[in-house]
Structure 1
Amino acid sequence: MSKASNQPLSKPSYAPTMTLAMAQQRAQFIYHIRNFFRQRQVLEVQTPLLSQAGNTDTFLQSVAAQVTYQDKPCTYYLHTSPEFAMKRLLASWQVPIYQICPVFRDNEIGARHNIEFTMLEWYQPNYSLDEMAAELGELLEMLYGHPIIMSHYRYVDAFMDFVGIHPLTASLVALQAVAEDKGLTGFDFNSVENSQTNNEQDIRQSWLDLLFSHAVEPNLGHDLPTLIIEYPPATAALAKTTVDKEGNEVAKRFELYINGIEIANAYDELADGQVLRERFEQDNRLRWRHKLPEMPMDEHLIAASDELIPCSGIAVGLDRLLMVTTGASSLEQVIAFPSGLA
């Protein structure tokens, strides 16, 4: 008879990375979220995962799918967010809506990233960003089971506190010097192919994004859930812009951070088809400079934008939110099969 081994038994290769207990917590978590919106008479909707249009954002890579439609091969894209289709519904129905669905972003792997993850997105007609932040706070209180106080922190102030330089007025040389001083070397945003055509604003924003992600984000939301507000205008994406108290143009958006992790992203939604088209075209020019494929624009969304009523919308990464509410240390603990095991 062989001796019993003191080594723990390894999991079989087919086993999920999430425990049964966590799966039960996750099911209750999603049940409570649906109940939260049901009580507020927010309509649950379902939109297609596949679209003929892709996300033009330079830093969000769509997953392409080769399909056959009407006997012809064509490329569709798995959505990076249900935003585009939901805004088409909102323009037509003009009622509060929400959706819980899988979304897909290529080349997203890590403790806090996965190619496929779950998103909660909702839109409230005639809501200001402050009202949307208040509703987000109510959702957090329901999930945590106790009152929540959220800190409001301007992007400019957070940047100056943790980087030591004003993000909206600093020169490109100063931004690069600070990045190098903080050990962020090996990045040269001026060396992109055809760099003579690069827009200075695009290069500035690349340095700002690098510094924010490495020097600011890890410090956010450890004492209180933190809303970063008044982002640079280059990050407006599908949001409106406004002017801050110093006279600088800023995006009307906020992001929620908890324990150094980005959890949610909210906009005072842009409702101007021509401006949206110009932003998509600018995105594609930037994608070309970075040797990324240009993405087909969503003409349906552009047309719907002119009919979009004043509203705010928010996207919440549910897997990350479940992580922080349960104390999990990685996405693998809150999803059954991460991309590497799917």
Structure 2
Amino acid sequence: MSKANNQSLSKPSYAPTMTLAMAQQRAQLMSVIRQFFATRQVLEVQTPLLSQAGNTDTFLQSVAAQVTYQDKPCTYYLHTSPEFAMKRLLASWQVPMYQICPVFRDNEIGARHNIEFTMLEWYQPNYNLDDLASELGDLLEMLYGHPIVLSHYRYVDAFMDFVGIHPLTASLEALQAVAEDKGLTGFDFNNVESGNTNSEQDIRQSWLDLLFSHAVEPNLGHDLPTLIIEYPPATAALAKTAVDKEGNKVAKRFELYIKGIEIANAYDELADGQALKKRFEHDNQLRKRHNLPQMPMDEHLIAASDDLIPCSGIAVGLDRLLMVLTGATSLEEVIPFPSGLA
């Protein structure tokens, strides 16, 4: 083979990981989404990527940025989602709104993860979770180009089907034993203060998260796009809570899974500033136990929460959605420059 032919077969170091054809499909995805919301008179908004506050969630690590503000060095954070700022807009304007933007989560690299990725987030005033699920189904139908049926699957039922024990009533010892039986070893979630109720709840949720991600998630959404509903209350984050038909407290949220991949996360939004502040404070206590930095709370969001009208909101990972729509197996196929090559 000649040198010229050999060079033509190798990609230059600067080349993108996605093809031109995929870039065109990505552009079409964005266009269809914007058309969908335009016909429903949902306002497109743009909020800052940088904030003085960070996400307190233990399992979402913010990317810090050193900036100079009024001639003084200070730390800002790239948002992990546009949620905080959009809720401030929602409390003021009280209209349906959406945003498509880059978001950032530190130390997330893999076939389905990247430090920077693209999120679609939208909020609908006076929508409950059923209303929002219906609208999500309408959007998916428009993107797929044919009718879609969404399967509804309770977290408890999925857990019992694929793990074999009840997630809300099983003992910590039973959860740990099942994890070890499934080969999930080397995890130690039990190093907390004895008798601390919050700590015991955190330990339980850590085992549940581990089992769900390894034993349940890969089985979801292969026949039909699947909504997992009625999550444990410890996963409520910024969602309201309710009581299920067995009398167990659950989070009012759902997640969308397609082909074993988590695509979207929706909440019936919490509108209680003091309750939100307590959750942020608890998050920071948990971060301290995990030797993670304390994150400055978003006091603007806490104040706005008391003025937030009843609403539901959803965040959709657009890169992952494009993956399942096109049959791609890695984020590298649907974004031009992954974090390692950016």
Verify same fold: TM over 0.5.
Answer: yes
Question: Is residue 226 from structure 1 mapped to residue 217 from structure 2 by the alignment?
Answer: no
Per-residue CA shift, 1:185-235, capped at 9, x if unaligned?
Answer: 00010136x677671000000000000000000000000000000000000
1:169-208 to 2 correspondences below 5 Å: 169-191=169-191, 199-208=199-208
1:257-276 to 2 correspondences below 5 Å: 257-276=257-276
> How far apart, in 1, do the equivalents of 2:165 and 2:227 lie?
20
Equivalent residue number for residue 235 of structure 2: 235
> How far apart, in 2, do the equivalents of 1:83 and 1:290 lie?
25
Q: Which amino acid aligns with 2:212?
A: F
> How far apart, in 1, do the equivalents of 2:170 and 2:3 lie?
68
> How far apart, in 1, do the equivalents of 2:222 and 2:117 lie?
24
Q: Which amino acid aligns with 1:243?
A: V
Q: Which amino acid aligns with 1:129?
A: L
Equivalent residue number for residue 80 of structure 1: 80
Equivalent residue number for residue 115 of structure 1: 115
Equivalent residue number for residue 306 of structure 2: 306
5+ long unaligned stretches in structure 1: none
Runs of 4+ in structure 1 over 4 Å off? 1-8, 194-198
Equivalent residue number for residue 168 of structure 1: 168
Equivalent residue number for residue 30 of structure 2: 30
Equivalent residue number for residue 99 of structure 2: 99
Equivalent residue number for residue 144 of structure 1: 144
Identity of aligned residues (%): 89
> How far apart, in 2, do the equivalents of 1:28 and 1:321 lie?
13
Determine helix, strand or coil for the equivalent of 1:75.
Answer: strand
Question: Is residue 55 from structure 1 mapped to residue 55 from structure 2 by the alignment?
Answer: yes
> How far apart, in 1, do the equivalents of 2:199 and 2:340 lie?
37
Equivalent residue number for residue 315 of structure 1: 315
Q: Per-residue deviation at 1:320?
A: 0.3
Per-residue CA shift, 1:21-54, capped at 9, x if unaligned?
Answer: 0001100110000000000000000000000000
Q: Which amino acid aligns with 2:127?
A: Y
> How far apart, in 1, do the equivalents of 2:191 and 2:249 lie?
28
Q: How many residues align?
A: 341
Q: Which amino acid aligns with 2:272?
A: D
Per-residue CA shift, 1:269-319, capped at 9, x if unaligned?
Answer: 000000000000000000000000010000000000000000000000000
**8 Å contact 1:268–1:312 — kept in the other structure?**
yes
> How far apart, in 1, do the equivalents of 2:114 and 2:306 lie?
34
**8 Å contact 1:54–1:298 — kept in the other structure?**
yes
> How far apart, in 2, do the equivalents of 1:110 and 1:136 lie?
27
Q: Per-residue deviation at 1:10?
A: 1.8
TM-score (normalised: structure 1): 0.97
Question: Would the alpha carbon gap of residues 20 and 4 (structure 1) be closer, same or farther in structure 2, given more than 3 Å must change?
Answer: closer
Equivalent residue number for residue 158 of structure 1: 158
> How far apart, in 2, do the equivalents of 1:30 and 1:41 lie?
17
Determine helix, strand or coil for the equivalent of 1:250.
Answer: strand
1:205-216 to 2 correspondences below 5 Å: 205-216=205-216
Q: Which amino acid aligns with 1:214?
A: H
> How far apart, in 1, do the equivalents of 2:288 and 2:12 lie?
44
Q: Per-residue deviation at 1:5?
A: 6.7
Question: Would the alpha carbon gap of residues 222 and 144 (structure 1) be closer, same or farther in structure 2, given more than 3 Å must change?
Answer: same
Q: Which amino acid aligns with 2:91?
A: A
**8 Å contact 1:195–1:289 — kept in the other structure?**
no
> How far apart, in 2, do the equivalents of 1:109 and 1:195 lie?
35
Question: Would the alpha carbon gap of residues 4 and 319 (structure 1) be closer, same or farther in structure 2, given more than 3 Å must change?
Answer: closer
1:56-71 to 2 correspondences below 5 Å: 56-71=56-71
Per-residue CA shift, 1:217-267, capped at 9, x if unaligned?
Answer: 000000000000000000000000000000000000000000000000000
Equivalent residue number for residue 340 of structure 1: 340
Q: Which amino acid aligns with 1:103?
A: V
Question: Would the alpha carbon gap of residues 70 and 159 (structure 1) be closer, same or farther in structure 2, given more than 3 Å must change?
Answer: same
5+ long unaligned stretches in structure 2: none
Determine helix, strand or coil for the equivalent of 1:127.
Answer: coil
Question: Is residue 330 from structure 1 mapped to residue 333 from structure 2 by the alignment?
Answer: no
TM-score (normalised: structure 2): 0.97
Q: Which amino acid aligns with 1:258?
A: I
CA RMSD of aligned residues (A): 1.5
> How far apart, in 2, do the equivalents of 1:150 and 1:332 lie?
28
Equivalent residue number for residue 250 of structure 2: 250
Q: Which amino acid aligns with 2:304?
A: A
Per-residue CA shift, 1:114-135, capped at 9, x if unaligned?
Answer: 0000000000000010000000
